[in-house]
Amino acid sequence: MTLKIIKTDKDYQKSLKRLELIFDSKKGSKNGDELELLSLLIENFEREKISIDLPDPIEVIKFRMEQLGYKQKDLTDVMGGKSRVSEILNRKRKLILDMIHKLHEVLGIPTEVLVREY
């Protein structure tokens, strides 16, 4: 494939298909080099043309809790009590900065996601 700047959705789809074909190529091989360059071109197109919003903070907290097998009681130390955890997860109370830092440390959720309005 001749590499070129991705300008259209058609180019983007074609590039994604090619990426899929050469995805397991060895680094340093001809296809491996193409894979690296194609990845950069795709990333550039996505950054400029495709708007991907950050996810809802509460949904991310719930998802991460599910991944880790956490219950609401497991976050009482982080958020300051059983009722406060419930209020936050039910969107009746906002996260404060201290909670955001602790959630980031405990659940590994990026702070830029947690500080978003919801």
| Top CATH class, 57-114 | mainly alpha
pTM: 0.58
Residue boundaries of the structural domains of the chain: 9-49, 57-114
User: Among candidates 53, 58, 51, 43, which has minimal Cα distance to 12?
Assistant: 43
Would you state the pLDDT for residue 106?
A: 95
Would you state the pLDDT for residue 76?
A: 95
pLDDT averages per 10-residue partition of the chain, 118 residues: 90 95 93 95 91 88 96 94 96 95 96 92
**Amino acid symbol at 93:** R
Would you state the pLDDT for residue 53?
A: 78
